[in-house]
Structure 1
Amino acid sequence: MTNISYKTALVTGGAKRIGRVMCKYLIEDGWSICIHYLNSKKEADEILEIVDKLGGKAFKLKANLNNENETRELFNLAENTIGPIGLLINNASIFYPEDWHEVTDLSWSNNFNINLKAPFILSQEFAKSLPKNSNGLILNLIDQRVLNLKSDFFSYTLSKAALYTMTKTLALALAPRIRVNGIGPGPTLPNSQQTDQIFNLEAQSTLLKKIVNPEEIAKTMMYLINSESVTGQMIAVDSGQHLS
């Protein structure tokens, strides 16, 4: 049983990959959702077709999370579309390999704007807009690597480590009405730079020697939605990768 006051959600990056699976679970659980996308209009339309067949309620909203004005406007559009938002899922991120000596002003700003600043702006708007005497949940998709630091993906790792800290700090700041939690995925889907062979080798290097099914991420999302006493936590759903 959830204590979230409104069964309405904004999911960033909800058209593809893990975000798509989370949206499917929300729709099947009776949520009305706004699916954010930037370049994945076709995939967003596909979800809307599925939702229509299920008799659910979903809308697609386009925004560039690298732009502060568009990010703030995204939240306003979501509220105007489905009413007060009860659940914010900060799922969208960028992710590419980068050693310390390859970091540029552009790579740094892109990673921090999309992976950290946008989640904060949306969380800020969420907290300011939540009606009095209402409860809500912010869920951040982080990464198990914040518990097992590596120096590749340099700017990305720093931005996700900051998001991990922000999750705990916002949990302190927004209690008791708003819970703030995170999920730290491990090897779930290959990134654009990975071959299937490299991805499978990564999965085999985990304690459980297995790929994480995206549905396990969605099930963890549902657990956090329904766990009224859990806040300030990141659950690593990673086959034990953070310990390997």
Structure 2
Amino acid sequence: MTTHSPILVTGANKRGGLAICKALVAQGQPVVAIYRNTPGELTSLTNVDMLKADLSQRDSRDALIDSIKTRYTALRGIIHNASLWLDDSLDNLNQMLQVHVEAPYQLNEALTPLLQGVERADIIHVCDDTATQGTKNHIAYAASKAALLNLTLSFAEKLAPRIRVNAISPGLLMLKEGSDAEYQSKTLRKALLEIEPGNTPLVDAVLYLLHSTYNTGNNIVINGGRHLKRQTSK
């Protein structure tokens, strides 16, 4: 049993989730890393407890919760980073709602007693810039992330003041792998800051929220000024 309460990170084995885990470990923070298929680079990190779970399945989430409660008496925080980016269809909408809404709801409810075991805990929902803007190309995805954003407000009110609940809404952080030059140029031009920033802005936002003294129920948007670019193009 660890004497330093860990932070649970979902979707921890790649991209933003992996970057978050690396940053936390570098600061001496123990991590419970949740992955769906294979742990990947997580195996190279120290101070990480790796647990496999399919967050789209209720029985898998139940088993995960039982395992966490068996291993730990307290949690420093939960970072809900697990995400699916699927094409529009009713089946895909249901699957994204399970991962983006049902899983955070269930884990927040079930693990609240562990979060209350420390002086100050944090829940961070990684949402998406489309949650407040909408998108005609990924309606189901944006709707599910909007539900997660609303979940932030409700849990912030319910769990204050001991547990802080905030959201981070990234715009483009990394271009699609294998995308062509035309797609990349068009995508980058959607923001005022026409760069591919990588995962650094997400990690910066996570670390800020974990150390901030006066934030709960808030949403940090990291989109390079995309919302202003939309206004100037109207």
Q: Mean Cα displacement is larger for which, 209-218 or 25-34?
A: 209-218
Q: Deviations over 1:15-51 (max 9, x none)?
A: 100000000000011111111111133x1xx2232x2
Quote how far apart the aligned CAs of 1:95 are: 0.4
Note closer, same or farther for the CA distance 1:126–1:191 as it changes in structure 2 (3 Å cut).
farther
Shift of 1:117: 0.7
Partners in 2 of 1:6 and 1:243 — Cα distance?
42
Structure-to-structure mapping, 1:157-172, within 5 angstroms: 157-172=142-157
Within the alignment, does 1:58 sit opposite 2:48 as a pair?
yes
The Cα of 1:59 is off from its aligned counterpart by 1.5
Counterpart for residue 134 of structure 2: 149
* Match in the other structure for 1:189: 174
Residue 232 of structure 2: aligned partner? none
1:242 equivalenced with 2:227 (yes/no): yes
Q: Contact between 2:115 and 2:163, CA under 8 Å: does it hold in 1?
A: no
| TM norm structure 2 | 0.89
Q: CA deviation at 1:230?
A: 0.4
Distance 2:178 2:94 in 1: 21
Give unpaired runs (5+ residues) of structure 1.
none
Distance 1:150 1:35 in 2: 31
Quick one: distance in 1 between partners of 2:108 and 2:101?
A: 11
Higher relative contact order (CA 8 A, sep 6+): 1
Correspondent of 1:16 among 14, 17, 23? 14
Per the alignment, in what secondary structure is the counterpart of residue 236 of structure 1? strand
Using structure 1 for the length normalisation, give the TM-score.
0.85
Q: Which amino acid aligns with 1:206?
A: A
Report what 1:34 is aligned to.
Answer: 32
Percent identity of equivalent pairs: 26
Maintained 8 Å contact 2:74/2:117: no
- 1:90: how far off? 0.4
Structure 1 pair 146–25 and aligned structure 2 pair: CA distance change class (3 A):
same
Offset, 1:79: 3.9
> How far is the alpha carbon of 1:163 from its aligned partner?
0.6
- Residue aligned with 2:136, SS: coil
Partner Cα distance (1:144, 1:133) in 2? 31
Aligned partner of 1:48: which letter?
Answer: T
The gaps in structure 2 that reach 5 residues or longer are: 230-234
Q: Give the root-mean-square deviation of aligned CA atoms.
A: 2.1
**Alignment match, 2:202:** 217
How far apart, in 2, do the equivalents of 1:211 and 1:169 lie? 33
